[in-house]
Amino acid sequence: MARVHIYRVLDRDYPARLRDLQSPPDPLCIRGELLAGPSVAVVGTRGPSPEAAAHAHALAFRLASSGVAVWSGGAVGIDAAAHRGALDAGGASVAVIGTGLDHCYPPEHEALYEELVLTGGALVSPFKRSQHAMLWTFPQRNGVLAALTHATVVVQAPTQSGARSTARFARKLGRPLFVIPAAPWDSLSTGNLAEVALGARVLADEAELFDLLGVPRARCARPRPPPDASEHSFAPWAKPEATTAGKGDETFACEPLSPECQAVFQLLSSTPLHLDDLCARSGLPTALVHTALLTLSLQAVLVEGPAGWFRRATTRKD
């Protein structure tokens, strides 16, 4: 098992680039080794189009083939496609995760995380080892991802997207920020257009990124065609087929839900319920209810209120 390094903010070998953050993480836990040399964060939505997922895979493949470390946030969708593209090129990749190292989120990425570490990459966590996934941990993760890399590329992001949180940190820190060009009718890429309006560079020619990093682009960086994005078992970045869940005239398009998520979702309505009530009514352990609420929040099908109250998000048919 790879060694875990724990850095405190006052340590001499604490990563200097993190000191640019207003609140540098303390502790910073790393399983594996931080990679020297140029690095790029490749980020985007958890539910990308097949074309965007394939582009993230190909971009990461070309970067890794040229000796650039590919970083991302370890999430499903674009993040997973980027990690996999780097691995398929025989390169190294780093995931900055939204939990402590003692937990794996999402659970289905346990094997991916192991592969990242075993192939010379790392898992980076800005939390103590016991920290569970919470809504507030992911924005903090995004700041670390932007701070530790030399540039950020947003492949595909809706207006409300965690990838845009990473972009905001990159912009605030003065790190180079690129977005993949998007059509104005592409609802999954409205965040890309918004970032361009805020000053992000359009990455129409990857040569600009390689020139910025000061590395020559590998001549034979031709990624193998990624698996059919419709085959979810072979394409962890693929957007799952939408399912609908709702009451009455409320409908929601969301990823297939686990039994725990379904149980919690069915208890929710437009009337807020407290976390304690959800645990009591579902009969599930508090940790599983927390995980279900986080998953449902990330899919934008519930709204978190103050002091542990939750209700369904309401989207009405036209």
Cα-based distances in Å from 225 to 61, 290, 293:
11, 38, 36
- In degrees, rounded to 5, the angle at the alpha carbon of residue 129 between the alpha carbons of residues 95 and 258 is 70
pLDDT of residue 183: 84
Residues 43 and 110 in one domain: yes
Quick one: 116 and 205 in the same domain?
yes
Same domain for 250 and 188: no
- From the first residue on, what is the mean pLDDT of each consecutive set of 10 residues in the chain (318 residues)? 88 95 96 91 93 92 95 96 95 96 93 95 96 92 97 95 95 97 89 96 92 84 45 35 37 59 86 79 83 80 73 60
Of 213, 233, 257, the last residue of a domain is 213
Q: What is the CATH number of the domain that holds 185?
A: 3.40.50.450
Helices 78-88 and 50-65 sit at what angle, rounded to 10 degrees?
A: 40
Q: Is 22 left (phi over 0), alpha (psi -120 to 50) or beta?
A: alpha
Query: What is the model's pLDDT at position 170?
Result: 98
Domain containing residue 280: 243-312
pLDDT at residue number 169: 97
pLDDT score of 314? 66
Same domain, 134 and 9: yes
Query: Would 139 be classed as within a structural domain?
Result: yes
The domain that holds 250 is classified in CATH as 1.10.10.10
- Is 0.85 surpassed by the pTM of this model? no
Q: What does the pLDDT read at residue 234?
A: 31
